[in-house]
Structure 1
């Protein structure tokens, strides 16, 4: 009975962790519904890990229990004990891998944050959000979820974009804070750090990064205007030679009506001259 239950939990975990990502990545609706896509990917990961953890705990518990009684058939006792010991060793190794990967992920984030905040800057409140403007020629914008949330932009960003476009970028970064995207990003980073060669981990990482950007794009388009956000993404895409930003701009323009598409087309034409 115990072995059957462990097998059922393991099979369910395998389905969620391995099979469901293969199904989800084929879904074309993810660009239209990024919040739902993000939720499904991470629910599958977390629930799969919980089921796997439950199977491990059950295996170890059964091994401890069977060692104290002899009612079970000899063959089943040996199988349960062996499975329990193997599971205990695997669990110890898993905890070690996760701990090392977590420290690496958090260490990299702390380093990037301290490097950015060490630049000369001044602060101001923009729409209830604390915005730090750092003095660097590179166009930078990011959200830092500390002290109630901080958005960091650079003087280079303000030189590249007009005020309305800068406002759209700030709205985009504020959306990351409001939606709590750091947790999803850390989970995807940790998963990839633990399984760097696994296609499932790489796919989850890519999907998470794209989904949170699309969610923030939609939020910023509603609060700061689709035209302003689209044009900001285009300018940044041209400056950074990043086609992904241009595709995001086209998505916003198409999603929020003909006016956005017409304005985007005019802006694109003017920037290619």
Structure 2
């Protein structure tokens, strides 16, 4: 019961307090966007996992675990088959856990399905209105607005408008397309879909709302960094300035948009990357976020298991 209470308290505190901690670490995140994305993902998983584990800890007493896996499985089977040994509190707890998982799974599937339909329709439009440029490796659309974006999926495409081609220098076009290629290679649309799913599944939760915003921003920073490995930062910054007013479709990943001008500053004035000690601290935080709830949930059962079997050994 103590473990369940601890997990419930952690779920509430983490869902409210972790976004504030993330806001204070925003500058640190800009120096290592990949690690920051993993931290936001781990925080979301940690909160959902702790809520589910809290419900399971309420439903399955620690002394049941203490008698061993065979008896635990037998009791769980009885609870699920005929309801024997299932109290009303256990039933409510198990229902809450199932509801949380079902809600997250449903919203995840809905986000992916909607994005798939929108991208398929957009791809059909590109086949009609665009032309593939083999030199660029992208689809070119006759459109005055300056846009460069990618359409993820099994038949992924990079898209650039004639307005962007007329505005950008050739080396800037190459740098922008490298940015889009980084999105496709990193499957960043799946990262964004996971953040969107949690925000939709549990609306109003500060952690999930903040994570969606931050991951969207950090994904662009990460793609900028990948492009900067092969192209001068000044060229990337100049391209971002020219693409800043462009608005790519919502279900795509574009180089311009709201964050473009702030990313220009970062490209022109890069900060030093994280030191090894700082990266290790970030990885340790990920491990604590992912493993902490499970450890709290397991401690009572493991303690009961050891106490029961140690007692049995002494009796022999």
RMSD between aligned residues: 3.4
Q: C-alpha deviations, 1:169-216, integer Å up to 9, x for none?
A: 111111112233222201111112123333322211110011011111
Does the C-alpha gap of structure 1 residues 138 and 108 become closer, same or farther in structure 2, counting only changes over 3 Å?
farther
Q: Distance in 1 between matches of 2:227 and 2:77?
A: 60
Q: Distance in 1 between matches of 2:187 and 2:270?
A: 24
Q: CA deviation at 1:231?
A: 0.4
Q: CA deviation at 1:243?
A: 6.0
- Give the 3-state SS of the residue equivalent to 1:122 in structure 2: strand
Q: CA deviation at 1:237?
A: 1.9
Q: Distance in 1 between matches of 2:225 and 2:17?
A: 30
- Give the 3-state SS of the residue equivalent to 1:223 in structure 2: coil
Q: C-alpha deviations, 1:224-262, integer Å up to 9, x for none?
A: 2211110011112256796631221121011189xxxxx
**TM value normalised by structure 1:** 0.75
Query: Could you tell me which residue of structure 1 aligns to residue 37 of structure 2?
Result: 38
Query: Could you tell me which residue of structure 1 aligns to residue 260 of structure 2?
Result: 245
Matching residue within 99, 108, 120 for 1:93 = 99
Structure 1: unaligned runs, 5 residues or longer = 70-77, 258-273
Matching residue within 177, 182, 185 for 2:189 = 182
Q: Distance in 2 between matches of 1:204 and 1:146?
A: 23
Using CA pairs below 8 Å that are at least 6 residues apart, which structure has the higher relative contact order?
A: 2
Matching residue within 153, 158, 173 for 2:180 = 173
Structure 2: unaligned runs, 5 residues or longer = 65-71, 80-84, 248-255, 273-316
Matching residue within 210, 213, 221 for 2:228 = 221
Aligned length: 245
Q: Distance in 2 between matches of 1:126 and 1:38?
A: 33
Matching residue within 63, 85, 90 for 1:84 = 90
The answer to whether the aligner puts 1:254 opposite 2:269 as a matched pair is yes
> For the Cα contact (< 8 Å) 1:67–1:81, is it kept in 2?
no
Instruction: Describe how 1:46-65 pairs up with structure 2 within 5 A.
Output: 46-62=45-61, 65=75
Query: Could you tell me which residue of structure 1 aligns to residue 148 of structure 2?
Result: 141
Q: C-alpha deviations, 1:10-52, integer Å up to 9, x for none?
A: 3444454443332122113222222221111111212332233
- Give the 3-state SS of the residue equivalent to 1:153 in structure 2: strand
**TM value normalised by structure 2:** 0.66
> For the Cα contact (< 8 Å) 1:151–1:174, is it kept in 2?
yes
Q: C-alpha deviations, 1:132-186, integer Å up to 9, x for none?
A: 2234333332233333743222233223322221111111111112233222201
Query: Could you tell me which residue of structure 1 aligns to residue 17 of structure 2?
Result: 19
The answer to whether the aligner puts 1:121 opposite 2:130 as a matched pair is yes
The answer to whether the aligner puts 1:108 opposite 2:114 as a matched pair is yes
- Give the 3-state SS of the residue equivalent to 2:160 in structure 1: strand
Does the C-alpha gap of structure 1 residues 87 and 256 become closer, same or farther in structure 2, counting only changes over 3 Å?
closer
Q: C-alpha deviations, 1:95-138, integer Å up to 9, x for none?
A: 453344234322431243124312322334568xx522234333
Q: Distance in 1 between matches of 2:234 and 2:175?
A: 9
